[in-house]
């Protein structure tokens, strides 16, 4: 693997994408189709992640997969027969779509043979990094953080404060126990800014124990020292090795950790409800499908409103 110049300006070379999960919330589809390949309109979620990585300047995507999910890596291989067939039939637009993923990032596979948790999955990717990479990003493919660009903001925060930078967003109190939750303090210049210092982090606490309502989105800019911390943690929430616990360990040892509080949108592609919202959201913005979907949805919702209208009391 050849090194590039991205690191010289505090940039990013490698993103790690944990994609070895069973996708249980999406069965039965995920019996044979990895959830990362389910399309948002026509583009698999994993390609949206690759686009985001490329936009942040990364050149390598280390995909942590399991043996039964080989279809994910196959998606990054060239299909010469398909390409030549599309070319000979003059299907230029489709050819460009098929080729796009190959120009984004260099995808490499990392095997996670046992499902021991997110922390374990990230630890498996250490060998995919070059020796001179001091930091790398983790992008959870279930999370679409919109609009793209939050990683660039996080890189700016690392240039300023060093250490590790996470992405947070506000949720209602009754949702905090689904996430890693931050204990935050102001930075010297955080008045009006979206950056806070992280004093602590706890994985999926009960709502009454949560230190705040700012939770971790699936975007992490991690200092390389995380690998050492990951080797020292014990199984935590759910009996799994938690990335949150390794970050908390680094904080306890004085490593600087900051959070960039994202104020845009987010979709959770990991369950059918969130996935459908993402599809509708993306389709409404699509030149081909948007106008007719908007009209159909309008009609559908009006019909729904009429059928659900209360019968007036006599």
Work out whether 143 is an interface residue with ligand G1P (CB under 6 A): yes
Q: Which is nearer to ligand G1P, 59 or 169 (CB)?
A: 169
Q: Which is nearer to ligand G1P, 18 or 44 (CB)?
A: 18
What is residue 129's DSSP assignment? S
Return the residues of window 63-122 that contact ligand G1P according to CB under 6 A.
Answer: 118
Q: Which is nearer to ligand G1P, 24 or 92 (CB)?
A: 24
Work out whether 213 is an interface residue with ligand G1P (CB under 6 A): no
Secondary structure E strands in the chain: 14-18, 39-40, 43-44, 60-65, 106-111, 135-139, 143-146, 164-170, 180-185, 195-203, 214-223, 257-261, 265-268
Which residues face 169 on adjacent strands? 215
Q: Which is nearer to ligand G1P, 99 or 271 (CB)?
A: 271
Distance (Å) of CA 304 to CA 278, 281, 289, 299, 311: 21, 20, 22, 8, 14
Work out whether 182 is an interface residue with ligand G1P (CB under 6 A): no
Work out whether 180 is an interface residue with ligand G1P (CB under 6 A): yes
Work out whether 216 is an interface residue with ligand G1P (CB under 6 A): yes
State the Cα–Cα distance between residues 218 and 144, nearest whole angstrom: 8
Q: Which is nearer to ligand G1P, 115 or 291 (CB)?
A: 115
Work out whether 48 is an interface residue with ligand G1P (CB under 6 A): no
Return the residues of window 235-294 that contact ligand G1P according to CB under 6 A.
Answer: 243-244
Q: Which is nearer to ligand G1P, 142 or 153 (CB)?
A: 142
Taking only Cα atoms into account, the Rg of the chain, rounded to an integer number of angstroms, comes to 21
Distance (Å) of CA 118 to CA 20, 64, 271: 9, 10, 18
Q: Which stretch binds ligand G1P (CB under 6 A): 46-54, 136-144, 220-228, 294-302?
A: 136-144
Work out whether 202 is an interface residue with ligand G1P (CB under 6 A): no
Candidate list 105, 110, 140, 246; residue touching ligand G1P; CB under 6 A: 140
Does residue 147 have a cis peptide bond before it, meaning omega lies within 30 degrees of 0? yes
Q: Which is nearer to ligand G1P, 52 or 143 (CB)?
A: 143
Work out whether 145 is an interface residue with ligand G1P (CB under 6 A): no
54, HSE (Cβ side, Cα atoms, 13 Å): 14
Is the torsion defined by CA of 105, 143, 186, 253 positive or negative? negative
Work out whether 52 is an interface residue with ligand G1P (CB under 6 A): no
Does residue 232 have a cis peptide bond before it, meaning omega lies within 30 degrees of 0? no
Q: Which is nearer to ligand G1P, 135 or 215 (CB)?
A: 215
* Residues that contact ligand G1P, how many (by CB under 6 A): 13
The residue whose Cβ lies closest to ligand G1P is 180
SS3 letters across 23-71: CHHHCCHHHCCCHHHCEECCEEHHHHHHHHHHHCCCCEEEEEECHHHCH
Q: Counting beta carbons within 10 angstroms of the beta carbon of residue 101, is it exposed (0 to 12), middle (13 to 18) or buried (19 or more)?
A: buried
Return the residues of window 218-237 that contact ligand G1P according to CB under 6 A.
Answer: 218
**Positions that interact with ligand G1P (CB under 6 A):** 118, 140, 142-143, 179-180, 203, 215-218, 243-244
């Amino acid at each position: 693997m050849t090194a590039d110049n991205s690191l010289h300006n505090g940039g990013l070379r490698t993103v790690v994408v944990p994609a070895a999960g069973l996708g249980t919330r999406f069965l039965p589809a995920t019996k044979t189709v990895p959830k990362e390949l389910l399309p948002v309109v026509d583009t698999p979620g994993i390609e949206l992640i690759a686009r985001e990585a490329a936009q942040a300047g990364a050149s390598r995507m280390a995909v942590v997969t399991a043996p039964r999910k080989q279809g994910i890596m196959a998606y990054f291989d060239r299909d010469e027969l398909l390409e030549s067939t599309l070319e000979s039939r003059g299907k230029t637009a489709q050819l460009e779509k098929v080729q796009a993923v190959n120009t984004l990032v260099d995808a490499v596979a990392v095997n996670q043979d046992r499902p021991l948790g997110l922390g374990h999955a990230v630890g498996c990717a250490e060998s995919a990094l070059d020796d001179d990479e001091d930091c790398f990003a983790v992008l959870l493919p279930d999370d679409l953080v919109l609009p793209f660009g939050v990683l660039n903001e996080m890189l700016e925060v690392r240039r300023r404060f060093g250490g590790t930078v996470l992405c947070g967003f506000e949720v209602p109190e009754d949702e905090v126990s689904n996430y890693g939750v931050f204990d935050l303090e102001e930075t010297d210049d955080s008045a009006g800014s979206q950056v806070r210092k992280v004093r602590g982090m706890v994985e999926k606490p009960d709502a009454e124990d949560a230190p705040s309502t700012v939770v971790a989105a699936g975007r992490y800019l991690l200092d390389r020292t995380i690998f050492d911390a990951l080797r020292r943690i014990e199984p935590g929430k759910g009996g799994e090795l938690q990335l949150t616990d390794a970050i908390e360990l680094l904080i306890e040892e004085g490593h600087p950790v900051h959070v960039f509080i994202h104020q845009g949108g987010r979709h959770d592609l990991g369950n059918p409800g969130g996935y459908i919202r993402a599809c509708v959201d993306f389709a409404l913005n699509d030149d081909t499908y948007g106008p007719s979907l908007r009209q159909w949805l309008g009609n559908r919702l009006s019909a729904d409103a009429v059928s659900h209208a209360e019968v007036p009391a006599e």
